[in-house]
Homo-oligomer: A and B are copies of this chain.
Amino acid sequence: MTETPLFQIDVQISFGHCDAAGIVFYPNFFRWFDRCFHTFLLERHGGHAALCRQLGARGIGLMHADADFRSPGLDGDLFTLDLGPIDWANRSLTVPYTGRIDDRVLVEGYETRGIFAEREGRLTAAPTDQLRALIEGVDHG
């Protein structure tokens, strides 16, 4: 990414994250994407549960996720995952991730999330403008 990330977490890759081929089992990268997003909400914006109460939402959940796996991660590697900048649409937000060990890219991917709220008995994706204002107000304001 040429743009500055919004947030970053480190993950110490451990024995139990690896599969029988001795490399990180790929669904763990998606667990780390999700963890990075929730840690960003926690450290910058009061956390997912408090934001959901504020937005009248049930959750800021997944519509799409993808990842390109560039090189393997091994037990003992220190993995750094960058989040952002977020791309906002009316009823979804797309969060890019890039994960590295030192300068070597392991994974690049995206999560597209909606702000799911009950409206007339159904869960639907609510407008993102209020969340965008909260996040951009703090992080870009």
User: Which residues of A pack against B, CB within 8 Å?
Assistant: 12, 14-16, 18-23, 25-28, 30-31, 34-35, 38-39, 42, 47-49, 58-59, 61-69, 72, 75-76, 123
In the assembled complex, the Cα of A49 lies from the Cα of B59 at a distance in Å of 20
Copies of the protein in its oligomer: 4
Contact of A48 among B12, B15, B28 (CB under 8 A): B15
Question: Cβ of A16 and Cβ of B42 under 8 Å apart?
Answer: no
Give the residue among A19, A48, A67, A68 with the most B Cβ atoms within 10 A: A19
Q: List chain B residues, Cβ under 8 A from A48.
A: 15, 75
CB <8 Å contact, A34 and B16: yes
> Once the chains bind, are A38 and B19 in contact (CB under 8 Å)?
no
**Candidates B27, B35, B64, B68; contact of A34 at CB < 8 Å:** B27
Give CA–CA (A136, B12) in the complex, Å: 24
CA distance A34 to B13 in the complex (A): 12
Minimum distance in angstroms from A62 CB to a CB of chain B: 5
A15 adjacent to B19 (CB under 8 Å):
yes
Q: Does the CB pair B20–A34 fall under 8 Å?
A: no
